[in-house]
Amino acid sequence: MAIKQQPKQPRGRIIAKVLLGVSGLFLLLNLVLPILLPSGPAGVPYSLFIHQVKSGDVSRVSVGQNQIRYQLKGENGEQGAVFATTPIFDLELPKLLEEKGIEFAATPPPKNNWFSTVINWVVPPLIFVAIWQFFISRGGGGGAQGVLSIGKSKAKVYVEGESEKITFVDVAGVEEAKTELVEIVDFLKTPGRFTEIGARIPKGVLLVGPPGTGKTLLAKAVAGEAGVPFFSISGSEFVEMFVGVGSSRVRDLFDQAKKQAPCIVFIDELDAIGKSRSSGGFYGGNDEREQTLNQLLTEMDGFAAGDATVIVLAATNRPETLDPALLRPGRFDRQVLVDRPDLSGREAILKIHSLKVKLGDDVNLKAIATRTPGFAGADLANLVNEAALLAARNQRQTVAQEDFAEAIERVVAGLEKKSRVLSDTEKKIVAYHEVGHAMVGALMPGSGRVEKISIIPRGMAALGYTLQLPTEDRFLMNEEELRGQIATLLGGRSAEEVIFGSITTGASNDLQRATDLAERMVTSYGMSKVLGPLAYQQGQQAMFLGNGSPNPRRMVSEDTASSIDSEVKEIVEKAHEHALEILKQNRDLLEEISTQLLETEVIEGEKLYSMLSRVQPVDKAAYSVA
């Protein structure tokens, strides 16, 4: 919407069409002309011709390759009729003609044959070229320069359109992301201000978030705000049938972009090319994708400081599958979370989209927002449209609240799998669960600050989540910190136990991660006094402090195996008790924060810090394993 696209002629296709047309015409003429043209002399059988020669009736013969024409002797010195016959392989003929004293000659190459020559020599290549052109223009080469343009990038260039450009006003509910992107707009507008004091302008910004939350929209808005060209290409367009084309596309895209700098290159669905190179997957690695990825990395490394300001924005909803090389400094070193909107965000998005429809007086956008937790921006835009359709169907002049109510039902039914809408009880459980994580996490050393708690369903698995960001880069962790992490992971389940006295299935992922961590403490990091500093796992862990599950164990004796198990169990249980104790002693606070969370769906920033700072610690000596 609201964006102008530079007209881009699919010239390859036009050429192909013209060529196809021309060759078709030739073929048609070839078929039709022989019928229309005045027919030659009457054809006779060869035997008749020979007979006439032998009986001396023939005066002249002209022998051609495909035809023998001959004239009969006329009466009274007049010329006789002309006949034609089809020659057969007859070496005796010249002799016979000579014997009979008949004038004969070979037929000169027919003059009007240029036509069939043209058809025979020109048409087949034309058809070939036409087909070639057709495939290239379809295969996405752009085709602007014919065959040579096979690698030309298909990036769409969006330029500012006066009345219809997208700006930050068109995006709502993602305030944090907007704040971060305002900086990028500054870089693009006044790069000098930053380079003069020696600051390096970031090259890549990765927008991460679930589908439909407005990542593409935000990228366009950045371009609109900065008033710079916007090259947009989708990751899946990169990966092509022809080997090498993907990487030449990348090169071409960046060449074009550098000419237009300052500008934005937007790569949508980055995961299509950025998949981790180590994860071979079903196809055992994909050469083409790898080349494309390497080219992208080279290009991003290529534009040095002081060079043209080209900022690469990319979007993905699966950051965990991206190749780590993409996330290194100097590449996509900035990541901006574009999350599902909270209550007030949803209201703001509804406001934006309902500007396009006529709203009745009874419409209460806040009430609609309250009923649509888990809806992303795209879902809300769709909702407004559905409501307008319903109003039109019901012959109303304006959209009424009841249209919205019905539209929500429709959209929710359609969304069922995509974004769950939780029942009130479920929502309550999720709220206490997340606050449990947050409160335990707030007390534990080394696990960073709790930045955000949300009960807006997100992604495939999480119903709610607690975002804990490290305050510094951590490469090493000590035993106490690891125990703290495990306790934090168990905090969610512990809160459910404290408040509801029962446990739901929601904690299974937490338990998995807690157990993995405990197992690694025992088998990889040598943190168990009982088992000592031995590595019981095979090989190196690929991700050092990552979430990967432990490697297969070495061959160990049954005794050792069972003591590993009991050590792991001991660690997890202690951490569980610790978490339970914290939550029991801070039960009032747990209730308070959870009630608040149920109301606003999200708590973050200062408000969250000040609430969590009130959590009272318990004597942790009791919970570390001796």
CB of 217 to ligand ADP, least distance (A): 4
Residue in 217, 388, 467, 579 binding ligand ADP, rule: CB under 6 A: 217
65 Cβ contact partners less than 8 Å away, ≥ 6 residues apart: 87, 107
434 as an active site residue: the answer is yes
Residue in 136, 314, 381, 580 binding ligand ADP, rule: CB under 6 A: 381
The reply to whether omega before 262 is within 30° of 0 (cis) is yes
Partner whose binding site includes residue 492, from Mg ion, ligand ADP, Zn ion, none (CB under 5 to 8 Å by kind): Zn ion
The closest of 410, 346, 413, 422 to 380, measured between CA atoms, is: 346
CB of 597 to ligand ADP, least distance (A): 22
From 12-20, 195-203, 406-414, 485-493, give the range in contact with Zn ion by CB under 5 A: 485-493
Does 171 participate in binding ligand ADP (rule CB under 6 A)?
yes
Torsion angles phi and psi, residue 159, rounded to 5:
-115, 160
Does 233 participate in binding ligand ADP (rule CB under 6 A)?
no
From 216-224, 297-305, 488-496, 530-538, give the range in contact with Zn ion by CB under 5 A: 488-496
Q: State which of positions 401-420 bind ligand ADP (CB under 6 A).
A: none
162 burial level (CB within 10 Å; 0-12, 13-18, 19+):
exposed
- Both structure tokens of 444: 């534990």
CB of 478 to ligand ADP, least distance (A): 39
CB of 458 to Zn ion, least distance (A): 12
CB of 315 to Mg ion, least distance (A): 6
Does 309 participate in binding Mg ion (rule CB under 5 A)?
no
Instruction: Give whichever of 152 and 353 is closer to ligand ADP, judged by the CB atom.
Output: 353
**Rounded CA gap, 203 and 327, in Å?**
11
From 45-53, 212-220, 340-348, 534-542, give the range in contact with Mg ion by CB under 5 A: 212-220
Does 172 participate in binding ligand ADP (rule CB under 6 A)?
yes
Does 216 participate in binding Mg ion (rule CB under 5 A)?
yes
Q: State which of positions 500-519 bind Zn ion (CB under 5 A).
A: 510
- Catalytic residue selected from 434, 497, 519, 601: 434
Torsion angles phi and psi, residue 469, rounded to 5:
-110, 140
Residue in 12, 212, 224, 506 binding ligand ADP, rule: CB under 6 A: 212
**Rounded CA gap, 306 and 310, in Å?**
11
The closest of 187, 232, 165, 455 to 334, measured between CA atoms, is: 187
Does 372 participate in binding Mg ion (rule CB under 5 A)?
no
Does 203 participate in binding ligand ADP (rule CB under 6 A)?
no
**Are the C-beta atoms of residues 302 and 256 closer than 8 Å to each other?**
no
| C-alpha dihedral, 61 to 65 to 66 to 67, nearest 10° | 0
Partner whose binding site includes residue 349, from ligand ADP, Zn ion, Mg ion, none (CB under 5 to 8 Å by kind): ligand ADP
Torsion angles phi and psi, residue 219, rounded to 5:
-60, -40
Does 492 participate in binding Zn ion (rule CB under 5 A)?
yes
Indicate left, alpha or beta for 539 from its phi (over 0: left) and psi (-120 to 50: alpha): left
Residue in 297, 313, 315, 450 binding ligand ADP, rule: CB under 6 A: 315
Partner whose binding site includes residue 514, from Mg ion, ligand ADP, Zn ion, none (CB under 5 to 8 Å by kind): none
The closest of 84, 106, 70 to 40, measured between CA atoms, is: 84
The closest of 159, 174, 299, 163 to 226, measured between CA atoms, is: 159
Partner whose binding site includes residue 213, from ligand ADP, Mg ion, Zn ion, none (CB under 5 to 8 Å by kind): ligand ADP
257 Cβ contact partners less than 8 Å away, ≥ 6 residues apart: 231, 263, 265, 310
Neighbour-count burial for 278-309, b at 16+ CB within 10 Å, e otherwise: eeeeeeeebebbbbbbebbbebbeebeeeeeb
Binding positions for Zn ion, rule: CB under 5 A: 492, 510
Binding positions for Mg ion, rule: CB under 5 A: 216
Binding positions for ligand ADP, rule: CB under 6 A: 171-174, 211-217, 315, 349, 352, 377-378, 381
As annotated, the active-site residues are 434
